[in-house]
Structure 1
Amino acid sequence: MPIVPLKLPKMGESISEATIISWLKNVGDTIEIEETILEVATDKVDSEVPSPCTGVITEIRFQANDVVPIGEIIALIDATETSNTAQEISNEEVKNETVKSPQVTNTSSSNNLEFKTQNSEFIRNPDAFLSPLIVSIAKKENMTIEEVQSIPGTGAEGRIRKSDVFNYLKNRTYPLASRPQIQAQTQQPKSSYNPPPIKYVEGHDTVVEMDRMRKMIADHMVYSKHTSPHVTAYIEIDVTNMVNWRNANKAPFQEKYGERLTFTPLFVEAVAKAVIDFPGINASVSEDGKKIIERKDINIGMATALPSGNLIVPVVKNADEKNLKGLAAEVNHLANASRENKLKPEEIQGSTFTISNVGTFGSLMGTPIINQPEVAILALGIIKKRPEVITTDKGDEIAIRSMMYLSLSFDHRVVDGYLGGSFLRKVGDYLEAFDPKRKI
């Protein structure tokens, strides 16, 4: 019978590796075609990998917590139904193929490192992309940016992976003291403040271990505050026309298009329009901190709370190119997929600007943390009715209006008060100027 390789499937354009969470089957187990065989994780998304055929597992090459490159053979299956097999290789090919494992990769990286350490200077790639995870590891290991950028990356297009850093640390022989100019740039003054010990009573207080996603969120938030000097601006707007229009049209909209009409697609629409007016807000800062990269695509991330309490940011791609029906359909799909843990890896990647609807939880306003590598994030507060002084043809009057606060946190390295304030005001203008006679 043919031996079928189970390869780690592609999980998104920029994803080059995944971490194995757990195997649901063992060597010797019989599996059916499309039956889930293991669970893997990439960034914030957990995915299930199905079997490509019916058969018996004869070999498992990686274990839980191993970081595996996309396309790597992770298991072999002795197929019993070749007609259902999408891809087969002969026993001889499997026998002759080098079985790749983290140890083999370590050996390769080690050889590269030995070659490098013979030189007195780092062989550095200043354009190397450093993910928040890599930066977090580097900080814990007291590594300089130059040192990290000198590590040979084995990911796509030479990207430095977590396993590359760990392999490097096992063979770390650089005399860091011989680089005093780098140390002086990166060494932080030692604080005289000693954090107080956290005391708790076992059996009385509850100690909860952070899950993997919460740890990643924590790392990302700390990295963002460490990277970007945050400034937050606020405005208050009158959204009475938008609220009345949405309340009057949500039932007809769902009947016509089969989609729920929430406020979120209206917010995304206004943000996308404002980004076109102020493209500088749709940007990132280069790794060396010296260049501003303005994005052509307008991909709006929408911070979404999961049932577990964790946060995830699915992305409405090319939001400026979608009409209200398209935006509503995409927002509903992403929200449902988030709640059901069915988001695809590519659906949480590539955002260029993020919104966070803190009003969902009753908050009047918020001071959101920037979703790196973006340069700004918008928080939308709760919509509340209250008496306001408005100007009419008869003069000033007191009327009941639907009011809300918008707050924009921005990276003051590249976004100054003019750009941040103007963009925020423009979003407010679009929401306030909502056409009450708009057709669905």
Structure 2
Amino acid sequence: MSKIEFRMPKMGESITEGTILNWLVQEGDTFEEGDILVEVATDKVDNEVPAPSSGTMLSHKVSAKDVVPVGDVIAILELSDTASAKMSQAEKMPDKGSPATSEKKPKKATNSNSSSKAYKVNENLFISPLVDAVARKNHISYEELARITGTGKDGRLRKSDVTNYLNEGRPFQFAQPVVEPSGFQVPDLKFDKGTGKIVEMDRMREMIADHMVYSKHTSPHVTAYVEADLTDMVTWRNANKLKFQEKHSERLTFTPLFIEAVANAIKDFPMINSSLDGKNIIVKEDINIGMATALPSGNLIVPVVKNADKKDLKGLAAATNELVGKSREGKLKGDDMKGSTFTISNVGTFGSLMGTPIINQPEAAILATGIIKKRAEVIEKPEGDTIEIRSMMYLSLSFDHRIVDGYLAGSFLKRIADNMENFDVERTF
């Protein structure tokens, strides 16, 4: 048996310290590999730190509510010699009666959870809604999910894989990736990042960052553009928005009109409403439109209008108004953000002419709608060309080139524009 120093693990690149919440294994108690020894809180999330192997808790070096820097000793454990050798973050203590070394080696601020384990990234990871729900409940990022070995068909990640991973104490939570040698190595460039106020990401921003990097890493993004003449739509809405609100008690924004045009285009091109599962393409039966919505904090969230193709204009207006209201008030529930099959990001809300949105995984495409701007346009007529003031808008579609080719993307995007341009100015509600 060997005594080892159990240190405060590193729990993120920007985390330098943690607060001891509670010791779950008391002094003198024994534990098994994977048992939770201590709960540690950071600014971002609470963490359960598991035992690297079976052994005995000899002593606590810190108490509950103590703030401890990463790498500092928090406990003394007694492990078997085999288990002790596996702990890369722990340094053996000299046994009683044995001579202590006169020269101490620098202590490395490594983490107790990584040990000598490393992982390979699952580059073809498909996250089902069930796995996503388990991950969100346990604060597992997409990056960490990619470290788990999937046992499903073609390496697909199953719920049982995530559950077993949690039961094992999340061994790869802080592990370092295995670097495969390749012909090109990313140079370690020492950029001058400058100085200034340090603003740490909140938990939501961290998850958004993980999701965006995962999406760009997973899907080869291609973006197509088209412009649409929304003059008839704008004229009709301006003439009817007050009447609509008086009759249905719902505000009539452009969002439900855009969703209606997109849902109708999806019905004409159902392959755009799909996801990739290994080597299979899943064409979704439901048309659920996600709306990228900015929160007061600046973070982005995507509430979902379910079965958008089956709702009339009143139903779409009611659904969008309710979801936007919940977003601003922080009252969205889990079901409000699940199940989207296609997403719209209205970058025109912020005054942007156009955008190149990142796909909301595991969807196949995402649409960005720009600002509606009046311009002088040449209008072709049988009697000759004229110049008129028209309300124009750019549309941009980012799509996953693994499952959507240029013809499908271009045809779908053009159909959305046609639906917007051929707006029925005589429609009633």
TM-score by length of 1: 0.63
SS in 1 for 2:228: strand
Q: Distance in 2 between matches of 1:127 and 1:407?
A: 25
Which residue of structure 2 lines up, in the alignment, with residue 342 of structure 1?
A: 331
Which residue of structure 2 lines up, in the alignment, with residue 228 of structure 1?
A: 219
State how 1:388-403 maps to structure 2 within 5 Å: 388-403=377-392
Which residue of structure 2 lines up, in the alignment, with residue 74 of structure 1?
A: none
SS in 2 for 1:372: coil
Q: Distance in 1 between matches of 2:272 and 2:156?
A: 32
Which residue of structure 2 lines up, in the alignment, with residue 164 of structure 1?
A: 166
Which residue of structure 1 lines up, in the alignment, with residue 200 of structure 2?
A: 209
**Residue 326 in 1 paired to residue 320 in 2?**
no
Using a 3 Å threshold, how does the CA distance of structure 1 residues 161 and 365 change in structure 2: closer, same or farther? farther
Shift of 1:161: 4.8
2:413 to 403, 424, 433: 424
Q: Distance in 2 between matches of 1:243 and 1:152?
A: 46
CA contact (8 A) 2:165 2:171 kept: no
Using a 3 Å threshold, how does the CA distance of structure 1 residues 386 and 137 change in structure 2: closer, same or farther? same
Shift of 1:171: 12
CA contact (8 A) 1:128 1:159 kept: no
Structure 1 residues 7-51: Cα deviation after superposition (integer angstroms, max 9, x where no partner): xxxxxxxxxxxxxxxxxxxxxxxxxxxxxxxxxxxxxxxxxxxxx
Q: Distance in 1 between matches of 2:186 and 2:284?
A: 43
SS in 1 for 2:318: helix
Identity over aligned pairs, percent: 58
CA contact (8 A) 2:288 2:339 kept: yes
Structure 1 residues 215-234: Cα deviation after superposition (integer angstroms, max 9, x where no partner): 00000000000000000000
CA contact (8 A) 1:299 1:350 kept: yes
SS in 2 for 1:169: coil
Shift of 1:394: 2.6
Flag structure 1 segments of 5+ consecutive residues without an equivalent: 1-61, 69-125, 177-182
SS in 1 for 2:317: helix
Flag structure 2 segments of 5+ consecutive residues without an equivalent: 1-38, 49-124
What is the identity, as a one-letter code, of the residue corresponding to 1:194?
D
Which residue of structure 2 lines up, in the alignment, with residue 109 of structure 1?
A: none
Farther-moved stretch of structure 1 (189-198 vs 239-248): 189-198
Shift of 1:437: 1.2
Shift of 1:167: 1.8
**Residue 362 in 1 paired to residue 378 in 2?**
no
Shift of 1:254: 0.3
State the aligned residue count. Answer: 304
1:137 to 108, 126, 144: 144
Shift of 1:144: 6.2
Structure 1 residues 175-225: Cα deviation after superposition (integer angstroms, max 9, x where no partner): x9xxxxxx89x7666624223244444xxx110000000000000000000
**Residue 265 in 1 paired to residue 256 in 2?**
yes
Q: Distance in 2 between matches of 1:348 and 1:342?
A: 11
Using a 3 Å threshold, how does the CA distance of structure 1 residues 294 and 226 change in structure 2: closer, same or farther? same
CA contact (8 A) 2:150 2:161 kept: no
Shift of 1:150: 8.6
CA contact (8 A) 1:386 1:403 kept: yes
TM-score by length of 2: 0.64
Shift of 1:165: 7.8
Which residue of structure 2 lines up, in the alignment, with residue 193 of structure 1?
A: 187
Shift of 1:128: 8.4
1:247 to 238, 243, 246: 238
SS in 2 for 1:303: strand
